Amino acid sequence: MRTRLAAGTAVLLVLTLAAPASAAGPLKHNTTRWVGSAVAAQHLAAEADYRKVLTREFDSVTPENEMKWGTVEAVRGQYDWSGADAIVAYAGKTGKSIRGHTLLWHSQLPDWVGGLEAAELRGVVREHIAVEAGRFRGKIRAWDVVNEAFNEDGTRRQTVFQTKLGDGYIADAFRWAHAADPKAKLYINDYNVEGLNAKSDATYELVKSLRRQGVPIHGVGIQAHLSLMYGFPEGVRENIARFAALGVDVAITEADVRIPLPVTPEKLASQADYFGRVWDACHAVKRCVEFTTWGFTDRHSWVPDVFPGEGAACLFDENLRPKPAYHRLNRHR
């Protein structure tokens, strides 16, 4: 997968070498929103240049995998907090806010969870949320409590939680998370809900229903994994605004823009436009409080491994040089 990414590196290097090292200063200084990136503990520990750019540019971090259930409790009752603790410690030392990701997700789930019967599963889910959110109580600004609960057509995704616990599992998860950490902002998070469509409609109706029930849900996370192979989503600003009108915050939680390889100047310009339109839509709505990217450097992007033939999805290239998309976001506001 990495060899595919390398195909566009030469062009990318020429373009980024011609750009100044920074535009209007660190990105975090050019917005009133939290501006963050997903991070990996291993890169923080091993790569000084990665750590330097992250520390300089962002004021929020999201553990990429270190807080997922399959990482922290792969074997029932045996916990591994090493990666999560390392990121929390880094954030504390550098004054970063933390977005916790994620308490409940059907993917990267320990195998042992799927085999539980409904009654036991309910207790295990409650315990997992209590243990993890409780461990970091007071240290996490916001949690993605439930991740990717809907199909593209707006129906409930038939996860182990949905099929065995029913529709009420989402409300329960938020109540349990709030009990474990009352000060954390609690979000539902999903992809392909950037614009107005069946999936974002279903998310909107769920949030409205949960709010009416008094469930402690405080925000909607919009992942914003975009690709130049598809048109820019319709109605992004209107979608953010309608969620905010429900009385919740909105966060861009996992933004990146995939480029069909090889990279060209025209594709980088289009990528910058996509990033910029999401950034502007967020800044147009007061309650859009965060803009986080899913990684900040192409050196460690997940994209080439998951989407063959696509890559170069981040704000910085493999050598940590800012790309046109970075300069688009960091221009004077």
Q: 152 catalytic, yes or no?
A: no
Compute the chain's Rg from CA coordinates.
19
Residues 261, 310: contact at Cβ < 8 Å?
yes
* Burial of residue 246 (number of CB atoms within 10 Å: 0-12, 13-18, 19+): middle
Question: In Å, what is the CA distance from 332 to each residue of 172, 314, 316, 328?
Answer: 43, 20, 19, 9
Q: In angstroms, rounded to a whole number, what is the distance separating the alpha carbons of residues 314 and 115?
A: 38
Q: In angstroms, rounded to a whole number, what is the distance separating the alpha carbons of residues 8 and 31?
A: 31
**DSSP per position, 117-177:** -HHHHHHHHHHHHHHHHHHTTTT-SEEEEEE--B-TTSSBP--HHHHHH-TTHHHHHHHHH
Residues 278, 25: contact at Cβ < 8 Å?
no
**Looking up tokens 């240290």, which residue turns up?**
139
Q: Which of the following is catalytic: 57, 66, 148, 318?
A: 148
Q: Which of the following is catalytic: 57, 66, 132, 254?
A: 254
**Looking up tokens 């090889």, which residue turns up?**
262
* Burial of residue 146 (number of CB atoms within 10 Å: 0-12, 13-18, 19+): buried
Q: 205 catalytic, yes or no?
A: no
Q: In angstroms, rounded to a whole number, what is the distance separating the alpha carbons of residues 285 and 244?
A: 8
Catalytic center residues: 148, 254
